Amino acid sequence: MDATGLMLYEGKAKKIFAAARPDQVIQYFKDDATAFNAEKRGTIVGKGVVNNMVSERLFMLLDEKGIPTHFLERLSDREMLTKKVTIVPVEVVVRNVVAGSLAKRLGLQAGEAIEPAIVEFYYKNDALGDPLVNDDHLRLMKVATPGVLRELREQAHKINAVLKPFFVERKMQLVDFKLEFGVFHNKLILADEISPDTCRLWDMATGESMDKDRFRKDMGKIEEAYQEVLKRVCG
């Protein structure tokens, strides 16, 4: 099955095309890389292939564990067939270890374990810089009902309970990660991708970053880190 040629949407990391069925779409994973709300732009060679294949493996794992996702099948190195969802404009971030913006905001020591994990909500709005929000803010803006937010939080914890030990088995620490959800036939399901773009991953032996932080912080060996994640997840 191939895209009909009609591009429905282009984001920072993916293009979305119409599929043969109206309730399905094709995600095309790009090599484009952005950081700091797209203020920094670049290319990570082969990133689209890595993210597509890693996402396939992790979506299949979650499906096996009874967590509904939009994944249907991988069509090629860069294309994935998915259910066509209406995205909930809330980024759900799960944090297992203090890092990144959390350390800066709260003055906490980076690397400190968070037990149990915490879940944060960010309002998906590029013009506002995707601000950190709480349940009351989202209710005020009529972005999501309390029931939907409760379900987002519950699903995030369930996904973390599956992914965290999966990465540990592959000698990687799942520090934090971003999730996006969508509505399909009135049901909330996991959408978007799960990849080194959306996860902060540290090598358990060396503490080295294995994700998009290497691009954000000009750490070098970005492609090598992505390929190593692919090897450990899918090898």
Do both 38 and 137 map to the same domain?
Answer: no
The mean per-residue pLDDT over the stretch 58-86 comes to 98
**Would 234 be classed as within a structural domain?**
no
Q: Domain with 45 in it: what CATH number?
A: 3.30.200.20
The mean per-residue pLDDT over the stretch 201-221 comes to 96
User: What is the pLDDT, as a whole number, of residue 36?
Assistant: 84
Q: Of 32, 54, 83, at which residue does a domain stop?
A: 83
Identify the weakest region by mean pLDDT among 14-23, 37-46, 109-118. Answer: 37-46
- Domain coverage including residue 72: 7-83
Q: Domain with 164 in it: what CATH number?
A: 3.30.470.20
Tens-place pLDDT, residues 102-126 = 999 999 999 999 999 999 999 999 9
Q: Of 61, 83, 105, at which residue does a domain stop?
A: 83
Residue 2 confidence class, pLDDT cut points 50, 70, 90 = very low
User: Phi and psi at residue 170, in whole multiples of 5°?
Assistant: -105, 20
Residue 140 confidence class, pLDDT cut points 50, 70, 90 = very high
**Would 233 be classed as within a structural domain?**
no
User: What is the pLDDT, as a whole number, of residue 39?
Assistant: 82
Do both 142 and 159 map to the same domain?
Answer: yes
Q: Of 83, 107, 139, at which residue does a domain stop?
A: 83
